[in-house]
Amino acid sequence: MENQNVVAPESTINLAITVDVANSSNNLEMDGGARISAWVDSMRASSPKHHKSTPSLVEDQASWMGQHPSALDMFEYIIDDSKGKQIAMFLDYDGTLSPIVKDPDRAFLSDKMRATVRKLATSFPTAIVSGRSIDKLYEFVGLDELYYAGSHGMDIRGPREAGSKYKKGSEAVLTQPAIEFLPMIDEVYKELVERTKSTPGAKVENNKFCLSVHFRCVEEEKWKELVEQVGSVIKEYPTLLLKQGRKVLEIRPTIEWNKGRALEFLLESLGFANCSDVFPVYIGDDKTDEDAFKVMAFLQRLGNGCPSEGKPVYKE
Q: Which residues bind Mg ion (CB under 5 A)?
A: 92, 94-95, 285-286
- Smallest separation (angstroms) from Mg ion to the CB of 100: 8
Pick 208 or 287: Cβ nearer Mg ion: 287
Pick 92 or 250: Cβ nearer Mg ion: 92
- Smallest separation (angstroms) from Mg ion to the CB of 54: 27
Pick 145 or 286: Cβ nearer Mg ion: 286
Q: How far apart are CA 270 and CA 64, in angstroms?
A: 34
Helix axes 290-303 and 259-269, enclosed angle (nearest 10): 50
C-alpha closest to that of 94 among 285, 314, 282, 265: 285
- Smallest separation (angstroms) from Mg ion to the CB of 316: 19
C-alpha closest to that of 154 among 131, 185, 184, 170: 131
Pick 138 or 237: Cβ nearer Mg ion: 138
- Smallest separation (angstroms) from Mg ion to the CB of 295: 17
Q: How far apart are CA 211 and CA 52, in angstroms?
A: 34
Pick 264 or 286: Cβ nearer Mg ion: 286
Q: How far apart are CA 201 and CA 152, in angstroms?
A: 24
**β-strands 173-175, 147-150 pairing:** unpaired
Q: Name residues whose C-beta falls within 8 Å of residue 298's C-beta, 6 or more positions apart in sequence.
A: 309, 310, 311, 312
- Smallest separation (angstroms) from Mg ion to the CB of 98: 9
Pick 13 or 156: Cβ nearer Mg ion: 156
Residues 16, 285 contacting (CB under 8 angstroms): no
Nearest residue to Mg ion, using CB? 95
- Cβ burial of 290 (10 Å; 0-12, 13-18, 19+) is middle
